[in-house]
Structure 1
Amino acid sequence: MIKKRIPIEDGDYYLTPDGYRCFTEQYHLKRGYCCESGCRHCPYGFDKKTNTQKK
């Protein structure tokens, strides 16, 4: 899979209290696929504990 660059726009992420970027559901949907990293706002339903994704 060739990964394309997705431009960051308002609402794509927020900063956590620790200063990390946390990508929102909006960004994940714009990206178009699940990275299987267990992202907090994953709209694709990936569960890192079971390594499965909801269909």
Structure 2
Amino acid sequence: MKKMIPVEEGDFYLADNGYRVFTEQYHLKRGYCCESGCRHCPYGYNVKTNSQ
């Protein structure tokens, strides 16, 4: 089981459709790439090639 990372100010913003969009700050705190093609992924994951 992966550890829970507390969400703090600056970790996300709300998109126009109401979804939370996690920022690079949050991804770096989390410490790994989830390979979901996140908008602000600092790890360089590419959904089209399935590689970093």
Short-chain TM bin: over 0.9
Q: Structure 1-normalised TM-score? A: 0.93
Which residue of 2 is the match for residue 40 of structure 1?
A: 39
How far does residue 33 in structure 1 lie from its aligned partner after superposition?
0.1
RMSD across aligned positions (CA): 0.5
The one-letter code sitting in structure 1 at the alignment partner of 2:47 is: K
How far does residue 28 in structure 1 lie from its aligned partner after superposition?
0.1
Aligned length: 52
More strand, by proportion: 1
Whole-angstrom distance in 1 between the partners of 2:22 and 2:36: 12
The one-letter code sitting in structure 2 at the alignment partner of 1:34 is: C
How far does residue 21 in structure 1 lie from its aligned partner after superposition?
0.2
- Which consecutive unaligned segments of at least 5 residues does structure 1 have? none
Which residue of 2 is the match for residue 27 of structure 1?
A: 26
- Which consecutive unaligned segments of at least 5 residues does structure 2 have? none
How far does residue 30 in structure 1 lie from its aligned partner after superposition?
0.1
Query: Identity of paired residues, percent?
Result: 75
Q: Structure 2-normalised TM-score? A: 0.98
